[in-house]
């Protein structure tokens, strides 16, 4: 849920349908306002050129969920919901020269420009919706995302888009909130350990302004829903990683905390492949 303060004022929380357009618009409204605070609060944890999969701190440099680092060299990579493009910058540092990020929020992309200037590692980006990628079919060897875009839209259309822009043999690897979190209050403390809602309730979480317009939308998909959305997009699921909370991570990030993280999964990372082609990420 929208624990990261700094977004639009919320008048009411509803559980109701929210379609692709409304979802994308709400995210744009929310992240234009939340971007500054998000980067100020989490920038150090994310690092200017670091690929962190979620609040547990699972680092791609160790996990290699995108495949072996050697295969990143020369790969054509798209990062969706890139925010300030910290992951893309890390990919550049690993030799992936053709990396592009998209994000629905112009303000997040301004932070990408700020870090580009500061680090001298520039990532091309475009302001776009994950449900309508402005790229040709089969344009990428790898599509990746750390909590970017996918938790905030209906899964089917976004995964179909990701599959479309992947070449045969290319990989899609993305992290989202672990679906089990849905039934607990989004509270980092003990209150966040008691089931409050049904895991099976798929109604969308919609935060509205005083005029009833959605200003923050989060969709709920069960684990099975994600698997079906991935296979329905014509991809083959290769792995589902549930990062454990490391002993030395004391970070509290919205509803994610050491207390909850040691008891419950907080992040799900899905790794899938588009059938055909050579099978490796690099082209
Ligand atoms: C939790 S942040 C993650 C950003 C970045 N991946 C990171 O790890 O810091 C979620 C990002 O998804 C973006 N986003 C939300 N809905 C989107 C959509 N429909 N299309 C593209 N990006 C979207 C937001 O603007 C925001 O930058």
Instruction: Please tell me the total count of domains within the chain.
Output: 1
Q: Is 2 inside a domain boundary? A: no
**Residue among 26, 53, 115, 148 to mutate when testing ligand 1 (max atoms within 8 A of CB):** 148
Q: Best mutation site among 25, 149, 173 for ligand 1, i.e. most ligand atoms within 8 A of its Cβ? A: 149
State residue 128's pLDDT score. 98
Q: What was the pLDDT predicted at 8?
A: 72
Q: Quick check: CB of 149 below 6 Å from ligand 1?
A: yes
From ligand 1's centre to the CA of 15, what distance in Å?
A: 21
Closest residue (by CA) to atom 8 of ligand 1? 146
Instruction: Report the nearest atom of ligand 1 relative to the CA of 105.
Output: 25
Q: What is the mean pLDDT of residues 96-124?
A: 97
In a domain, 174, yes or no: yes
- CATH assignment at residue 111: 3.40.50.150
Q: Is residue 283 part of a domain?
A: no
83 CA distance to ligand 1 middle (Å)? 5
Q: What is the DSSP string of the chain?
A: ---STTS----EEEE----HHHHHHHHHHHHHHHHHHHHHHHHHHH-TT--B-STT--BHHHH-TT--GGGGTT-EEEEES-TT-HHHHHHHHTT--EEEEEES-HHHHHHHHHHHHHHS----EEE-BTTB--S-TT-EEEEEEES-SGGGS-HHHHHHHHHHHEEEEEEEEEEEE-GGGGGS-S-SSGGGGS--S-TT--PPEEEE-TTS-EEEEE----HHHHHHHHHHTT-EEEEEE-PPPPTT----BTTB-HHHHTTS--EEEEEEE-SSS--SS--
Ligand 1 atom closest to 23 (CA) = 19
Is 282 inside a domain boundary?
A: no
What's the rounded mean pLDDT across residues 224-252? 97
Q: Average pLDDT for residues 179-193, to the nearest whole number?
A: 96
Our answer on whether the CB atom of 18 is closer than 6 Å to any ligand 1 atom is: no
pLDDT-derived band at 69 (thresholds 50, 70, 90) equals: confident
101 lines ligand 1 (CB under 6 A): no
Is residue 268 assigned to a domain? yes
Look at residue 6 in the predicted model and tell me its pLDDT: 64
Cβ of 148 closer than 6 Å to ligand 1, yes or no, is yes
Residue 1 lies in a domain: no
- In this predicted structure, what is the pLDDT of residue 278? 64
Residue 4 lies in a domain: no
Answer whether residue 278 is part of any domain.
Answer: no
User: Domain residues for 207?
Assistant: 12-273
């Amino acid at each position: 849920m929208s624990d990261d303060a700094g977004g639009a004022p919320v008048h009411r929380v509803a559980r109701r349908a929210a379609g692709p357009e409304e979802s994308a618009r709400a995210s744009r409204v929310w992240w234009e306002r939340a971007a500054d605070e998000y980067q100020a609060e989490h920038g150090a944890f994310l690092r200017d050129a670091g690929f962190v999969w979620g609040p547990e701190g699972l680092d791609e440099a160790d996990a290699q969920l995108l495949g072996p680092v050697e295969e990143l060299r020369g790969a054509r990579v798209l990062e969706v919901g890139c925010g300030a493009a910290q992951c893309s910058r890390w990919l550049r540092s690993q030799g992936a020269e053709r990396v592009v990020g998209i994000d629905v929020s112009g303000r997040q992309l301004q932070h990408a420009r700020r870090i580009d200037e500061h680090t001298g590692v520039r990532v091309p980006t475009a302001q776009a919706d994950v449900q309508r990628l402005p790229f040709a079919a089969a344009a990428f060897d790898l599509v990746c995302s750390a909590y970017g875009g996918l938790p905030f839209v209906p899964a089917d259309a976004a995964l179909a888009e990701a599959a479309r822009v992947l070449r045969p043999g290319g990989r899609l690897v993305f992290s989202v909130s672990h679906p089990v979190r849905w039934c607990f209050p989004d509270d980092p403390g003990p209150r966040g350990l008691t089931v409050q809602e049904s895991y099976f309730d798929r109604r969308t979480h919609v935060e509205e302004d005083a005029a009833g317009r959605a200003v923050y939308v989060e969709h709920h998909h069960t684990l099975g829903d994600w698997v079906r959305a991935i296979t329905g997009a014509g991809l083959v699921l290769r792995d589902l990683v549930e990062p454990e909370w490391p002993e030395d991570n004391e970070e509290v990030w919205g509803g994610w905390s050491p207390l909850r993280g040691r008891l419950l999964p907080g992040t799900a990372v899905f790794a899938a492949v588009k059938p055909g082609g050579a099978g490796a990420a690099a082209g």
